[in-house]
Structure 1
Amino acid sequence: MVRDTFTPGGDSVQNSRPEEIIPPAKDPEHRRVAAATIIGTAIEWYDYFLYAMAAALVFRQLMFNGLSPAASTIVAFLTVGISFLFRPLGAFLAGHYGDRIGRRKVLMLTLIVMGTATALIGLLPTYDTIGVASPILLITLRVIQGISAGGEWGGAVLMAVEHAPVKQRGIYGACPQIGVPAGLLLASAILAVMSQIAPGDAFLAWGWRVPFLLSFVLIGVGAWIRHSIEESPVFVEIAELAETESAPVKVLFRDHFPLVMVAALIFAGNSAVGYMTTGGYIQGYATDPDGPVGLSRDDVLWAVTGSAVTWLLFTLLAGWLSDKVGRRTSYIIGFILQFIGVLAVFPLVNTGSVTLFFVGIAFLTLGLGLTYGQQAALYAELFPASIRFSGVSISYAIGAIIGGAFAPMIAAWLVQATGTTSAVTVYLGGMTIIGLAAVLSLRDRSGIPLGPDHEAEQSVSPIRWLSRA
């Protein structure tokens, strides 16, 4: 049997060689893992994004109403960003144990922790009831969400990519990626439904709590699904060979720190733009009764729900495209389209037309999807097997801090400081260019063997200026 693979020091991905030791999984197992990663990741990110949207629509009025309206908005978005500071902690813990005890066990734990924290938010008393204890408890639960999110992504993508046939890593790796827009779609849709079931003051009184309490049910669904899948074949082989790394995080930073930062900047270029909707900024900006847009909450939530569908479709397309043209080329196409979307989104949002609002955010998701679907395969192919969980998790967490963590707060501050969204466009355009530059610095590793018997090949740096040294 022959296969496509990477040649160290070169860009070609079409060299033939014997299949690596790990046999390809059977199709039913592929489908089972793909379904489990989509559903499990969607549930995790439903929980995470639900908070971000509620920060703009609810928490600034109920938990931070001891502040002025302008300050409460900024502080509400600040709490969205604070959780990102704890995602590296989750990534360090999940990476360490994921590389030592397996991907599957870590994924079960992150799901339960995230879901429990989310459900407890739905039970929190407001500021008017218990005073300053309310925002303190809210922030504490958001920090727990951040720790869980830091460990979730790496495990999900490695389960998908390490189970996948080598020529289909992009499309299978896109499965946990589409769980992210699926989580956004689910969170937006349920909030929109509750906004109609409990309109006006009823939504602030109790309607917002229902989507959070629903997480109790979703924990059970997600845990049952994840329990049904097998451990990653790469980790199974690592364990059989007794080659688990005793201190994977230490080895990662000692030997691969530049690669971690380049990988992080790639995601930062995507996440800064993505968190305009997933972080709740555009929803809050467009529905602000004192702002220039003045759209209704229902219209905005349904428009965001629709844009999540387009984001999902283009994320899946990116995974498929990266299997055809390579991870690097597909990223270049995506960042160019994302830059165009950044230039267009706020002029369309500022028209005050719900139709043009949807067109703007939907077009933005074209580039967002095409710079996200291939990320799972790209990251998995960057790092050696023995430290791969640590590498992908920590790179993702650092990229989230640099990019998405405080993007909504920065956008809110820029608009308040300048009185216009033009400064936000410049900021997001700059982040997109940073992501593109990071991609251009890498050689394409599409098809590189992922098993532990190829550690020497995997350890050759894909960064162009380092691999020449």
Structure 2
Amino acid sequence: MSTTRSVPPVQKKPSPAKVAGASFIGTTIEWYDYLVFGLATVLVFNPLFFPTLDPLAGTLAGFATLAVAFLARPLGGLVFGHFGDRIGRKKMLVLSVVMMGSGTFAVGLLPTYDAIGIWSPVLLVVLRFIQGFAVGGEWGGAVIMSLEHAPADRRAFFASFPQSGVPAGTFLSTGAMFLVTTVVPEEQLLSWGWRVPFLCSAILIVIGLYLRLHVTESPEFLELQERGDVIKVPAREIFAAHKRALVVGMLCMLAPNTIFYLATTFFLSYGPVNLHLSRHLVLTALLVAAAVEVVTLPLFAMIADRTGAKNFLIAGCAALAIGAFPVFLLFDTGTVVGVVAAFLLALPVLHASVYGSIACFIAALFPPRVRYTGSSVAYHLGGAVTAAPVPIVATLLLAEFGSSLTIAGYVILAAVVCGLVISLLAPAPERESHAPRATRRTSDDRAATPIV
């Protein structure tokens, strides 16, 4: 009697554009949830959750609350990355969107300091931690799904679609806060209006969950499963054999994070408070810049596919160093044209030039068997180190020296350090090899798929 072994059905491979599009929409929803918290911190949280502090201390306390998420993001990247490399990318993306949306919705229901006292800011910090933990698993999974479905010569382009979710989420969150601050009177804004953008995340959870459930698993992960090359403890291999890749992945975030969080967080406080600009003018300028960057990010990534991500990132750092002073000089004019031009230069040009190809660059530093863990931990540890201090450092520099040009110097320093790290420490670009992989490869940094 002959026996036949059942063969599992072959999974139909979706088009890279479909996967990238789903990643873009899902990531947009995640970043809307994440960034709306930052906007509310600048615009309304001080009197609601920190009313006993003076204005400067309240502002710093709000920024410190934002920083909590940066501490949670590497932990989330480590946990989500572990299971993403063990059981699959898709499952972790489903979990991340549910966790993020639930945390954001809960913020919209949170009682203020007047209602429950000190427990109010404590719970606010806890919910911000949950948001950070969720986004820690989101970025790596979305980027890797797009990259691993893409053809080898267009990986930077398709991996940039989740990156475009950041300005798209900025646009949606800024638009939501703009509407409530415009339509709702100040008293009602502080009473209930600020809650609306957070409660709307309930709708976004449904959309994000639907998209994530209908995306197929990464073909490279399925290949790992088929040949039995799924690693049991990805983090152990990352910290044992990929330390250099981890450091490079962390520090290459210095340039994009510095300019991004100055534009999207610090400027929203600096403009109205120090330059007496209309809050609506600053929000409108941010809206316009975010919308434009959704387009420029993949355009820059297309160029990176031709030049190599490493070379393009070095050029982007040089552009950021050159453009730092013009950004602040334009913003400090206090005119409509100057403020809009400052945002357009800061985000869709300078930030996009150093952020569009970051996803492909970081993912390429790690082999597929530890890619989710490695890229997530590098990206989010980089966020904790390079992004969390940005609004705090900028506020302290302004208070100490009284000039925004000292903050421009901070941007230049970040760009120079970032460029040097990428130039001196990142592996040299190589052509991607299509030779068959061994079942168990030695886990040195050269094991990463060379697409930088």
- Measured after TM superposition, the shift of residue 25 of structure 1 is 7.8
Gaps of 5+ in 2: 1-9
CA distance 1:220–1:115, shift in 2 (3 Å): same
Residue identity (%) = 35
Residues 336 and 367 in structure 1, CA contact (< 8 A), matched pair in contact too: no
CA distance 1:322–1:102, shift in 2 (3 Å): same
Residues 383 and 458 in structure 1, CA contact (< 8 A), matched pair in contact too: no
Q: Distance in 1 between matches of 2:334 and 2:12?
A: 51
Superposed counterparts of 1:56-455, under 5 Å? 56-278=42-264, 280-288=265-273, 291=274, 293-365=275-347, 366-441=349-424, 442-445=426-429, 448-449=432-433, 453=437
- Measured after TM superposition, the shift of residue 447 of structure 1 is 5.1
Q: Distance in 2 between matches of 1:55 and 1:451?
A: 51
Stretch of structure 1 that moved more, 450-459 or 170-179 = 450-459
Q: Distance in 2 between matches of 1:403 and 1:314?
A: 23
Q: Deviations over 1:320-359 (max 9, x none)?
A: 1111111112112211222223221222212211221110
- Measured after TM superposition, the shift of residue 460 of structure 1 is 4.5
- Measured after TM superposition, the shift of residue 312 of structure 1 is 2.0
Alignment-mate amino acid for residue 30 of structure 1: P
Q: Distance in 1 between matches of 2:356 and 2:434?
A: 19
CA distance 1:347–1:248, shift in 2 (3 Å): same
Q: Distance in 2 between matches of 1:312 and 1:274?
A: 14
Alignment-mate amino acid for residue 355 of structure 2: Y
- Measured after TM superposition, the shift of residue 440 of structure 1 is 0.8
Alignment-mate amino acid for residue 176 of structure 1: P
CA distance 1:240–1:353, shift in 2 (3 Å): same
Alignment-mate amino acid for residue 375 of structure 2: V
- Measured after TM superposition, the shift of residue 451 of structure 1 is 9.4
Aligned length, in residue pairs: 436
Across the aligned residues of Structure 1 and Structure 2, the Cα RMSD in angstroms comes to 2.1
Q: Distance in 1 between matches of 2:75 and 2:129?
A: 10
Residues 241 and 445 in structure 2, CA contact (< 8 A), matched pair in contact too: no
Residues 241 and 443 in structure 2, CA contact (< 8 A), matched pair in contact too: no
Q: Distance in 2 between matches of 1:301 and 1:372?
A: 22
Normalising by structure 1, report the TM-score: 0.89
Q: Distance in 2 between matches of 1:436 and 1:351?
A: 30
CA distance 1:325–1:311, shift in 2 (3 Å): same
Q: Distance in 2 between matches of 1:91 and 1:450?
A: 29
Alignment-mate amino acid for residue 113 of structure 2: Y
Q: Deviations over 1:163-195 (max 9, x none)?
A: 001111011011101011110011111111222
Q: Distance in 2 between matches of 1:117 and 1:451?
A: 45
- Measured after TM superposition, the shift of residue 200 of structure 1 is 2.6
- Measured after TM superposition, the shift of residue 368 of structure 1 is 0.6
Gaps of 5+ in 1: 1-22, 464-469
| 1:49 maps onto 2:49 in alignment | no
CA distance 1:118–1:452, shift in 2 (3 Å): farther
Normalising by structure 2, report the TM-score: 0.92
- Runs of 4+ displaced beyond 3 Å: 23-26, 443-447, 449-452, 454-463
Q: Deviations over 1:205-224 (max 9, x none)?
A: 22211111000100000010
- Measured after TM superposition, the shift of residue 458 of structure 1 is 8.3
